[in-house]
Amino acid sequence: MSGNGNAAATAEEDTPKMRVIRVGTRKSQLARIQTDSVVAMLKALYPGLQFEIIAMSTTGDKILDTALSKIGEKSLFTKELEHALERNEVDLVVHSLKDLPTVLPPGFTIGAVCKRESPYDAVVFHPKFVGKTLETLPEKSVVGTSSLRRAAQLQRKFPHLEFKSIRGNLNTRLQKLDELQEFSAIILAAAGLQRMGWQNRVGQILHPEECMYAVGQGALGVEVRAKDQDILDLVGVLHDPETLLRCIAERSFLRHLEGGCSVPVAVHTAIKDGQLYLTGGVWSLNGAETMQDTMQTTIHVPVQHEDGPEDDPQLVGITAHNIPRQPQLAAENLGISLATLLLNKGAKNILDVARQLNEAH
């Protein structure tokens, strides 16, 4: 009997173990849903691999009594996850792309930009105001948003409303809206509500003429160690060429402006007939001053998996070996050109004043 037992044990040892890929994520329900969606795509592509999800809290999840723009930390929702990557505790991390700074810490890169969902902002109304729009809300109604970008644009567009900071994950914010009598409505990213299955709460979608969106909004980014070629190859197939090019242009615009959470900067991009269009704007904190413009560049949306040069440096933190280099460079240059145009028109002054006022409050 004992001989058979040993033989079984040896056979088990000889069976190759499935390789386990460890995936880091924030603990919030939305972060978990987003990570699960990326892992599901990877599982379908690599049935021979196992994936283990490791959830952790970030600084941004812990500091809930302060407006994001006041905390003064660019990597609020990413730092702890990057530490885990650095210590080799995880192999890749799934983020909302808009949470990833345009300059990543050395040693990291965005190895995949997944297909974008709606980049727009959505308005969720207090139950007693269902059926209203921002325009038809009563005078001095309070609207909650955690974003200076939204507040600046909407104050300009809807001067009869008051805007107040609201923090917490999606569940917490909706609870605050429904249970406290403080807010008539709150503004959230449409993509987040969609992913949570809460489309029925959306009372109004804000289109770019009312409120342009944040850089990278609606897209997911997969962050990896820059030198981990194996994992880079593994996740690189998730790049969506159109989303990638739009987000390179947006991130390049923001980086060149030196914008971040503490100043109101917004964008709108589109690809049509081989042209990439980028509209970008900056606002004063109260929305009274603004500067916006649109530029375009010729771009041929590449077919995925074309071979590109192997030694590509990153563009605005993104590595995409399997997408041709030329359209990526054109997208990056478009962002730089539009930022330069606005800076030459005086955008720096608007941003500097916004930054100072935000820090002083």
Closest of 221, 329, 210, 358 to residue 281, by C-alpha? 210
- Please state whether the predicted TM-score (pTM) of the whole model is above 0.75: yes
Name which residue leads in pLDDT, 126 or 10. 126
Higher pLDDT, 312 or 280: 280
> Residue range 224-253: average pLDDT?
97
Helix (H) or strand (E) holding 270: strand 265-272
Residue 188, both tokens: 């959230």
> Do 169 and 80 have their domain in common?
no
Task: Write the CATH number for 194.
Answer: 3.40.190.10
CA distance 198 to 191: 10
Residues 350, 247 share a domain = yes
Whether residues 264 and 143 share a domain: the answer is no
Q: 334-350 pLDDT, tens per residue?
A: 999 999 999 999 999 99
Residue 278 near residue 250, CB atoms below 8 Å:
yes
Q: How many CB atoms lie within 10 A of CB 104?
A: 19
The whole-angstrom separation of Cα 100 and Cα 94 is: 10
Indicate whether 100 belongs to any domain: yes
Q: Which amino acid is at 267?
A: V
Does residue 146 or residue 175 have the better pLDDT?
Answer: 175
Q: What is the pLDDT of residue 18?
A: 81
Distance CA 116, CA 101 (A): 18
Strands 275-283 and 290-298: antiparallel
Question: Is 291 inside a domain boundary?
Answer: yes
Specify the number of domains making up the chain.
2
Q: Please, which pLDDT band fits residue 11 given cuts at 50, 70 and 90?
A: very low
Q: Is the pLDDT at 1 greater than 70, yes or no? A: no
58, pLDDT greater than 80: no
Lookup: tokens for 9? 């044990």
- Pair type for strands 220-225 and 265-272: unpaired
The answer to whether residues 238 and 336 belong to one domain is yes
**Which backbone phi and psi does 342 adopt, to 5 degrees?**
-65, -40
Cite the beta strand spans of 98-201 per DSSP E.
108-113, 121-125, 142-144, 162-164, 185-189
Name the more confident of 239 and 304. Answer: 239
Q: Which of 185, 205, 225 is the last residue of a domain?
A: 205
Catalytic residue set: 99
Tokens representing 81? 């996850």
- Mean pLDDT over all residues of the chain? 88
pLDDT score recorded for residue 71: 39
Reduced to 3 states (helix: H, G, I; strand: E, B; else coil), residue 284 is coil
pLDDT band at residue 258 using 50, 70 and 90 as cut-offs? confident
pLDDT of residue 325: 92
Rounded to whole angstroms, the Cα distance separating 83 from 220 reads 19
Q: In what order do the strands lie in the sheet with 290-298?
A: 265-272, 275-283, 290-298
Domain that holds residue 134: 121-205
Q: Compute the distance between CA of residue 137 and CA of residue 158 in angstroms, rounded to an integer.
A: 10
